[in-house]
Amino acid sequence: MGNNTRVEDLNLTLGGSSYVGSNKLVGIYYGSNTAVTAKLRTSTVNVCNSSMPYTSSNNIYGIQFDGGGTLGTNTFSFNCVKGSTVNVFGNGSGLKRGMIVTNSNIVTLRDTNVYVAAPPTNSNFAGSYVGIETNDTSTGNNGAIQLRTTTIGTVQPTGVQTYTASDILQTTPANPTNPTYLASAGIQLGPGVDLVTKTAGGQGFSTYVYPTQLFYAVIGVLNVSGVTTTGGYLWPGSVPVNSGSGQAVVYPDQSTPSASYRVQQPIILSGMTVTGTTAPGSTHTTTVTVRRTPSGGSIASTSFTLSLTGSSTFASMYNASVNFAAGDLIHVLVTYDAGANATADLSVQLDCF
């Protein structure tokens, strides 16, 4: 794409059903500041190397954004891609991307479909198949892509297949701590965005649609005097620590099976915050861990874990993601050291997309 250019109502194909050449294919390339000035409208981009041997290694990108740019309040109006479809069909190892941001571009798109598929020619190929990735390797890792009314889908591996796939993948920035509305680098999901397989490659991302939230709270001091228990599971909502003065501690819940929330439709756990009105105190720690029981499987801890230590009363985590399928169970486990741990009025918020 060149500056101030417009491509509209075209069907663009690179490769094809019998194509068996090149170790890199790029359907459309945005360089310089063309992500701001150039437009792709109501077009279809097909990039295909599915006939290459599964033992080959090659990279194929439907659209690559490799220029510069800055993020501003009017960025959403650029819409360098609108009303279009991007299809990538690959084989073999290497990177297969519907769209990829490889520089400090600020990309915006809407009303777009992105589909990346791996053909079932052989179960042994080990490529990486992603709908949209941000991987800005320039200083600052400021590349970003904003999506509205867009559908992104991939085909997930099954059985012995060794390739990896996710709808989105925020390789950089790798460690967002607290995403900022309309101003965060990386992947930003806006209104009407549909992730078909609800997968993010285990990485974090930002959303400026208010997330679905699960809230848990423990009312009172966790470490009740004279009680040796050091933790248990939380139920959604707010529950007092004990059932009354002088009575046995009943919360956090230590009964079996563990307290849980059943997932009705696939979701991505994308963020977590933990807050207490009173800190644990010097040398003491209170830890919150999200655990998952897959439908028909066994409970296990996820990457989402946060600790309040010493004088800290707040912690957050947005640099990872965990997929939950329909029928999975979400568990929130709280543990704390015995003794003079003073943590009180603990609240836990889980942000889901």
- What's the CATH number of domain 212-352, 2.60.120, 3.40.630, 3.30.920, 3.30.70? 2.60.120
Residue 193 DSSP code: -
| Model confidence, pTM | 0.89
User: CA 178 to CA 303: how far, in whole Å?
Assistant: 17
For Cα atoms 159, 302, 327, give the angle at the middle one, nearest 5 degrees. Answer: 60
User: CA 129 to CA 151: how far, in whole Å?
Assistant: 16
pLDDT at 337: 86
Closest to 102 (Cα-Cα) out of 146, 62, 64, 139: 64
pLDDT at 184: 82
pLDDT at 69: 74
pLDDT at 18: 64
List C-alpha distances in Å: 102 to 47, 72, 106, 242: 18, 19, 11, 53
User: CA 122 to CA 11: how far, in whole Å?
Assistant: 29
The CATH 2.60.120 domain(s) of the chain lie at 212-352
List C-alpha distances in Å: 123 to 29, 88, 160, 315: 31, 19, 6, 42
pLDDT at 303: 97
Per-residue pLDDT 10s for the chain (353 aa) are 999 999 999 999 998 666 666 678 999 999 998 998 899 999 999 999 888 777 888 899 999 999 987 756 667 778 999 999 999 998 888 899 999 999 999 899 999 999 999 866 666 778 899 999 999 988 888 899 999 999 999 999 887 788 899 999 999 987 766 676 667 889 999 999 999 999 999 999 999 888 899 999 999 988 865 555 578 999 999 998 865 555 555 789 988 999 999 999 999 999 999 999 999 999 999 999 999 999 999 999 999 999 999 999 999 999 999 999 999 999 999 999 877 889 999 999 999 99
User: CA 212 to CA 47: how far, in whole Å?
Assistant: 35
Work out whether strand 106-110 and strand 144-148 pair parallel, antiparallel, or are unpaired: parallel
Work out whether strand 59-65 and strand 95-101 pair parallel, antiparallel, or are unpaired: parallel
